[in-house]
Amino acid sequence: MSKFRFLILALFTVVAGFGSASTGLGQSTQEAGAAEDTGPSAVEVEIVEFTFQADTVRVKPGTVVRWINRDQVAHTSTAEDGEWKSPLLAPGETFEQKFDEVGEYPYYCTPHPFMRGVVIVAP
């Protein structure tokens, strides 16, 4: 990844962070941003200290959600209904899933079932 692209991603993360600060209720949300100039729009969920951050993401149909493990131990992103199932993600590894259909998609981490998140797909 080029340095420039990394900076864009970092900036997006900061902007999304500001957006979530106003939601309150101890639950963070993240809106899908404008499409990047390459490929479909993507939203990142960081796995940090046994939590999905943000644990609730709202995206438009066709968005790719990318989980990235920034923790010290391995985690997964596993859909409750079996729609997707990441391999065990070692620290630093990522997993992507594209969401085309409107709906709510709860998921968890297989080794740590208390780790929960949801992807909400709406127009």
Judged by CB under 5 A, which of 16, 65, 109, 119 binds Cu ion?
A: 109
Residues 71, 98: contact at Cβ < 8 Å?
no
Q: Which stretch binds Cu ion (CB under 5 A): 23-31, 32-40, 54-62, 72-80?
A: 72-80
Burial class (CB in 10 A: 0-12, 13-18, 19+), 82: exposed
Question: Of 76, 72, 83, 68, nearest to 121 (Cα)?
Answer: 83
Q: Which of 30, 43, 75, 99 binds Cu ion (CB under 5 A)?
A: 75
Nearer to Cu ion among residue 75 and residue 105 (C-beta): 75
Hunting for tokens 């943000």 — which residue is that?
54
The span from the CA of 107 to the CA of 90, in Å, is 18
The distance of closest approach from Cβ of residue 71 to Cu ion in the complex, given in angstroms and rounded to an integer, is 7
| Gap between the terminal Cα atoms of the chain | 30
Q: Does the protein bind Cu ion through residue 112 (CB under 5 A)?
A: yes
**Binding pattern to Cu ion, positions 3-42, x when CB under 5 A?**
----------------------------------------
Binding site for Cu ion (CB under 5 A): 75, 109, 112, 115
